[in-house]
Amino acid sequence: VIDFDLLYGHPLSQPCALWERCDSHCCTMGRRFLRFDPQTPLVALPIPAPEYAYLRGLAPGGAQWPEAPRAIELELRGYSLRLYMQPCNFGGACEGALRPAICRLYPYVPLIDDDLRLGGLIHASALDLVWEPGADDDPCLMRRAEETRRYVELMRDLIGKLARAPENLELLLWFNLAYRYLEAFRDYLGENLAEGAAGEGSEEQTHILHLCNRTQLFLADPEFRGRLDAEVERMQRWRS
Ligand code: SF4
Ligand code: SF4
């Protein structure tokens, strides 16, 4: 069984105290797209089925969100996973103990290398990928240099502790699958922004981001699927 207690109790999982200074950007980023689609939730949270079950156990009577999640079946080479996309419209006013892993990892998702060490970081939300790492206009204050250094220390500690138990390697695989998804989204967004020649922070740029988020054509690209398969193979190497 994956040790969610370890992840949820780790210092990296502490709620961010800077929300008043960024207007709760990470819990409300979907509001930028409401003018293109009034049904857009403030946030859509990816939660693997085993974690969803764990969260239900923490909140007797069901998970904390009133909205129904959308289920996605992920079939990779030798590995399958049900992923729930959970709309969240709390805007930051959720029950802190019931935040899923993606909210705890924010503002980054890690890539774990063959030696079970931190191999890279990427912005934790596809909608945040319009900002380059270290950009002055990035609304998330936790991605500044000093906060990022602290994050890296904590993430290395978390990975080291999780990697001690073979059952947790699947959780590290999820991190890597999320990283590969975000990496591919960043490339897809880059191609479409270049074609649209949108100005930084413009209405046009926001619209292109919204359309990229809706279409996500790269999901069916064999090259992208190959990158996900390679992460499953990496987990098998960790296990051997
Ligand atoms: S993690 Fe970033 S976006 Fe979220 S509340 Fe903190 S500073 Fe704001
Ligand atoms: S669950 Fe809480 S922390 Fe996560 S997006 Fe929703 S309001 Fe924000």
pLDDT tens per residue, range 3-33 = 999 999 999 999 999 999 999 999 999 999 9
Q: How confident is the model at residue 197 (pLDDT cuts 50, 70, 90)?
A: low
Nearest bound ligand to the CA of residue 16: 1
Q: CB–CB of 166/239 below 8 Å? A: yes
Q: With beta carbons less than 8 A apart as the criterion, state whether 176 and 59 touch.
A: no
The confidence score (pLDDT) of residue 201 equals 67
Task: Work out which ligand 1 atom sits closest to the CA atom of 92.
Answer: 5
Gap between the Cα atoms of 230 and 234, Å rounded:
6
Task: Give the number of the atom of ligand 1 that is nearest the alpha carbon of residue 106.
Answer: 1
Provide the pLDDT for residue 194. Answer: 76
- Is the bond leading into 107 cis (omega within 30 degrees of zero)? yes
pLDDT of residue 199: 64
User: What is the pLDDT confidence band of residue 203, given thresholds at 50, 70 and 90?
Assistant: confident
Tell which residue, 70, 94, 90, 74, has the closest CA to residue 82: 74
At residue 200, does pLDDT exceed 70?
Answer: no
Instruction: Report how far ligand 1's centroid is from the alpha carbon of 69 (Å).
Output: 24
Does 114 have pLDDT greater than 80?
yes
Query: Does position 103 have pLDDT exceeding 90, yes or no?
Result: yes
Cα of 16 vs centre of ligand 1, distance in Å, is 6
CB 81 within 8 A of CB 48: yes
CB-based contacts of 125, cutoff 8 Å, min separation 6: 26, 29, 43, 106, 182
* Structure tokens given for 11: 């210092």
Q: The pTM is what? A: 0.95
In 175-190, which positions are buried (b, 16+ CB within 10 angstroms) versus exposed (e)? bbbbbbbbbbbeebbe
Long-range contacts formed by 192-195: CB under 8 A, 24+ apart: 193/130
Identify the residues whose C-beta falls under 6 Å from ligand 1.
16, 18-19, 22, 24-26, 106-107, 140-142
pLDDT band at 60 (very low <50, low <70, confident <90, very high): confident
Residue 115's alpha-carbon distances to 149, 182, 207, 234, in angstroms, are: 21, 22, 40, 10
Q: Which residues line ligand 2 (CB under 6 A)?
A: 27, 43, 45, 88, 90, 92, 94, 99, 103
Is residue 62 very low, low, confident or very high in pLDDT (cuts 50, 70, 90)? low
Query: What is the H or E stretch that residue 182 is in?
Result: helix 169-196
Partners of residue 119 on adjacent β-strands: none
Q: Percent of the chain at pLDDT above 90?
A: 88
**160: Cβ–Cβ under 8 A, 6 or more apart, which residues?**
116
Q: CB-based contacts of 31: which residues, under 8 Å, 6+ apart? A: 40, 42
Q: Both tokens of residue 48?
A: 């693997």
Closest ligand to the CA of 104: 2
Query: Among 124-138, 139-153, 163-177, which is the least confidently predicted range?
Result: 124-138
Summarised one tens digit per residue, pLDDT across range 75-86 is: 998 899 999 999
Mean pLDDT of all residues belonging to the chain: 94
